[in-house]
Amino acid sequence: MTPALWKSAVNALLEANLQLTRGSFTLDVQLTLVPGEVLALLGPNGSGKSTVLDLLAGLATPSSGTVSLDGATLVAPGRFVAPEKRAIGLLGQEPLLFPHLSARANVAFALHVGEAQLPTAQAQKQADRWLDRVGLQGFGDRKPGALSGGQQQRVALARALAAGPRVLLLDEPMAALDAETAPFMRQLIREQLAETGTSAIIVTHDIVDAVVLADRVAVLHNGALIDEGATAEVLAAPRNPFVAALAGVNLVVGTAQNGAIVAPDGRIFWVRPTDADLTQATPAAAVFRPASVVVQTERPRNASPRNVWSARVTGIEPGNGGVRLRTSGDPEIIAELTPAAVADLGLQLGSPVWLSVKATDVSAYRR
């Protein structure tokens, strides 16, 4: 079932209905954003996420469609408002600071030439205040080359917010930051968006960004939105393998049959009691965590789990505090083990294994 994603809200700040064709790729996206809301746009590479941001920012022109902001039309047949007049800011992976200008001058530039058009002296004074807000007090005279990557990104954030955008577009803003800097930057963005009341759309591959920053998520696949909803709801019941992987769960999309889910390869996954009607042959999905999967080299005897099947190891890779074991099947199932358990079982690529998971650990929902 495809969710109803086009919801024109009475109090919508941003409304977009975008179509774009480039070669064999077609984008067809409709979305809304209400004041103060943060939307995370998720999807695999090539799904069109950055293209959506470019279209909203005015860096690309749609083949057809409309964009309106706070009731003002930005894009429509015969109308195209220039990027600098849209009150929509863009912060990407790279800070893109002017290398010959100081941090203060980079931020002041947005205040001097932007919609505010403040006099130079006033713009520089305001710039120092913004640098203070992002934790860079005393760094105003430094040029980008004298700043770390995280510091440059903070200057870029200050510049983006100083321009007073109604909507801030964030394109993988933490992707180029190290593991120590990213959490600080993430929290800083969260605080500044809340304090300024700025609405935002963030494109990300990091589920932490969606959980920490977003009120709502939308999932883009092959140029179309395939799922949308409150962040916790979408991650708890993913409808797409990409989102399931982000959420760190196994997703089995199949058919409901007598209280169980039948996978594409015929495996039957019994599930815990659910409100969903799983008695009919309707599309449904089972979700369970990799840590719930028990791995053995021999068939379990008198196993209490109802779900037991054989497979082969197709991948062994680092996991969150352990080892992720990929196993054959349609779909593949991932198990999480300790390094000691992998060594004790003598597992390697191609090893035959028996997997089991308790029905009480498997949740289900209708599609």
Give the residue-averaged pLDDT of 6-34: 87
The domain ranges of the chain are 14-236, 250-366
C-alpha 8/C-alpha 44 separation (Å) is 26
Which amino acid is present at 250? N
Give the residue-averaged pLDDT of 342-356: 95
Strands ordered across the beta sheet of 25-33 = 79-80, 72-76, 64-69, 14-22, 25-33, 224-230, 216-221, 38-42, 199-203, 167-171, 88-91
CB 294 within 8 A of CB 356: yes
Work out whether the CA dihedral 125, 131, 133, 136 comes out positive or negative. negative
Would you state the pLDDT for residue 93? 85
Would you state the pLDDT for residue 119? 87
Percent of the chain's residues with pLDDT above 90: 62
In the predicted structure, residue 281 carries a pLDDT above the cut 70: yes
Would you state the pLDDT for residue 6? 41
Model confidence band, residue 77 (pLDDT cutoffs 50, 70, 90): very high
CB 167 within 8 A of CB 89: yes
Would you state the pLDDT for residue 305? 63
> Of 31-40, 179-188, 270-279, 347-356, which gets the smallest average pLDDT?
270-279
Would you state the pLDDT for residue 365? 77
Would you state the pLDDT for residue 363? 85
Give the residue-averaged pLDDT of 334-343: 94
Helix (H, G, I), strand (E, B) or coil at 321: coil
In the predicted structure, residue 366 carries a pLDDT above the cut 80: no
139: tokens are 């760094």
In the predicted structure, residue 115 carries a pLDDT above the cut 70: no
C-alpha 91/C-alpha 69 separation (Å) is 19
Give the residue-averaged pLDDT of 167-180: 87
In CATH terms, are 14-236 and 250-366 the same topology? no
Nearest CA to 177 among 142, 197, 200, 147? 147
Helix (H, G, I), strand (E, B) or coil at 291: helix
CATH architecture of the region 14-236: 3-Layer(aba) Sandwich (3.40)
- The rounded Cα 315 to chain-centroid distance in angstroms is 25
Q: Which fold has domain 250-366?
A: OB fold (Dihydrolipoamide Acetyltransferase, E2P) (2.40.50)
Would you state the pLDDT for residue 4? 39
Would you state the pLDDT for residue 3? 40
In the predicted structure, residue 274 carries a pLDDT above the cut 90: no
Look-up: residue for tokens 């994603």? 5
Would you state the pLDDT for residue 203? 95
Would you state the pLDDT for residue 303? 58
Work out whether the CA dihedral 251, 257, 259, 260 comes out positive or negative. negative
In the predicted structure, residue 334 carries a pLDDT above the cut 50: yes
Would you state the pLDDT for residue 105? 96
In the predicted structure, residue 7 carries a pLDDT above the cut 70: no
Nearest CA to 75 among 117, 160, 16, 23? 16
In the predicted structure, residue 184 carries a pLDDT above the cut 80: yes
CB 163 within 8 A of CB 147: no
In the predicted structure, residue 116 carries a pLDDT above the cut 90: no
Choose the most confident range, by mean pLDDT, from 221-230, 242-251, 357-366: 221-230
**Segment (H or E) for 112:** helix 103-113
**What is the DSSP annotation of 205-256?**
S-HHHHHHH-SEEEEEETTEEEEEEEHHHHHHS-SSHHHHHHHT-EEEEEEE
Interval 35-64: pLDDT, tens = 999 999 999 899 999 999 999 999 999 999
